[in-house]
Amino acid sequence: MNREYESLICLCLTGETIEENQEYLRRYRNCIDLVELRLDLLSDSELDRLRGNPGRLGEMLTGVQRLVTCRRLADGGAWSGDERERCRVLGDVLDGPPDWIDLEDDLSDELEIAARERGVGIVRSIHCLDSPPADVPGILDRLSRGGALAKLAVAVSGTDDVRRLVESVAQRAPGTHIVLGMGEYGLMTRLLARRIGSAWTYTSAHGAVQAAPGQVDPRTLVERYGFRRIGPDTALFGVVGDPIAHSRSPEYHNARFQRDNLDAVYLPFRVDDLRPFMSIAHTLPLHGMSVTVPHKSAAAKLADHTDDAVRETGACNTLIREHDSYLGTNTDVPGFLQPLTPYLDAVDGATIVGAGGAARAIAYALVTRGMDVLIVNRTVSRAEALASDMNRAAERIASTQAGVRPGRARAGAIPNSRSDIAGFGSLIVQTTSCGMEPNDECDPIPEYRFDGSEVVYDIVYTPATTTLLERAERAGCRVISGALMFEQQAAVQYDLFRRAYWSFRRSRDNGTRSYDGVRRDIGRAPWSRQSEG
């Protein structure tokens, strides 16, 4: 993908008056390059004033390029009036003159000719409010007739729609189009405008009417998502999940990349289906990914190579790019064990509450350390499946590693009393999402009464102290917060990302494709032995 293009940041002005819009401009002037004045959102009296004196455009919106448009209802705008009147409005404002005018594909060439005579740049646009059209490249070619900037804005309902958009522009000259997916799944097309060759990305002022679904405000784009830092050589990383807005990973990894002065950016990707996202990851490319709910088992299947931890648990939370393939590992395993280390001598059996992706990594971590575990879950059949997977893993380990005695796993229902977990009560590990914001009142073992002897480890990290941990602490238990596990697993993951970054840089600088260091590093990790997968 050709990436030698500087994408601009456009602020959509959605106020009813020019004064209101001036205020939005003042607020964001230092982080934007152009504004789009939405004529369809101006009040009638303000529109009349502007038509009477189009010079107001340049007098009041200063210091940035100015784009004007008058969006119809059918295109997601607010103009419900007569079409000829809309053309007259656009024609009147041309005398401003603006720097750019956005004309829909079906508008006659008259306005375009008038705009060109005044030196105004032309954007030709199509807005698809249901699904991506079949022939995106063909549509972009048609829109760019006569040298216009082609804009295609599409409502996307999932990751496969986004894949189609991203792949459609992979071979196009950058800066000749703007392609964006509207809605949360499409956020990546806005954040990675430069990578997909879009001439600019659209934003809305915080608290203002959003010009289109999925827009963020310019400051968030620049400060949280590092939009200006994404250059042609910037290594991209990210976290994939659904939902993803709560993830603390972007904050953590971006801070570490910046502290280490690496040309790398880490972004959140809301993904409903990992398979098409892997295709996007190859196209961009992404050099590393954190994988979270609900994609850990899909990641284990889609990784090109996996280590023991992933193979035995069927859960992968980290993908690292090597050549054109992805290596899968699971940093939840060492991340979970590290905070537990000071307590390991005091515990002789564990109850794991939950049987999802995180429980798999935790059961594997404990069983491979020789601890017997009882897995209890709301859906008991899932606990049973996990216990039998762990027992199979234990047998494999025992038969291949001389002198190693892995633990055994059993399954059961959510306990009501200490006798329900007899022999497994010295350590209770809570791995369900019950207790995580916004369900922070939820207690996954409400009937169970602590006697104060238990070590209680809740891996939920938002909030850092859950309802369950509070209750355990009050009963005198020693408690471990999921925030510690998060920090540890993220630190291990960051180390892998940093190594992937340097391997990529070395291979690029030397003109070689030697990524061997990354595979060697993953292979060396104590929890990990890699294999083809």
Residues that bind ligand NAP (CB under 6 A): 293-294, 296, 332, 335, 354-359, 377-379, 382, 431-434, 436, 442, 444, 459-461, 482, 485-486, 489
For 371-400, b/e burial (b = at least 16 CB within 10 A) is: bbbbbbbeeeebbbbbbebbbebbeebeee
Residue 319 Cβ, how far from ligand NAP at the closest point, in Å?
15
Query: Please, are residues 418 and 449 in contact by the beta-carbon 8 Å criterion?
Result: yes
Pair type for strands 305-307 and 325-329? parallel
Q: Is 296 a catalytic residue?
A: yes
| DSSP tag of 404 | -
Is 527 within 8 Å of 304 (Cβ atoms)?
no
| Residue 152, amino acid | L
In the complex, the smallest distance separating the C-beta of residue 490 from ligand NAP, rounded to whole angstroms, is 7
Q: Which long-range contacts (CB under 8 A, 24 or more apart) does 256-260 make?
A: 256/494, 256/498, 260/498
Round to the nearest angstrom and report the end-to-end CA distance of the chain. 28
Whole-angstrom Cα distance, residue 424 to residue 374? 6
Smaller CB distance to ligand NAP: residue 139 or 434? Answer: 434
Closest approach of Cβ 315 to ligand NAP, in Å? 8
Q: How far is CA 58 from its chain centroid? A: 38
Nearest distance in Å: CB 381, ligand NAP: 9
* Structure tokens that stand for 130 in this block: 């249901």
Residue from 296, 305, 311, 410 carrying the catalytic annotation: 296
Cβ neighbours of 365 (radius 10 Å): 23
Nearer to ligand NAP, 397 or 442 (CB): 442
Distance, C-alpha 248 to centroid of its chain? 11
Q: How far apart are CA 156 and CA 182, in angstroms?
A: 6
Tokens at residue 122, please? Answer: 């032309």
Measured CA to CA, the distance from residue 467 to residue 435 in angstroms comes to: 7
Query: Minimum distance from CB of 374 to ligand NAP (Å)?
Result: 14
List of residues 6+ apart from 4 with CB closer than 8 A: 174, 232
- Alpha helices by DSSP H, listed for 1-43, are 18-28
Q: Which residues are catalytic?
A: 296
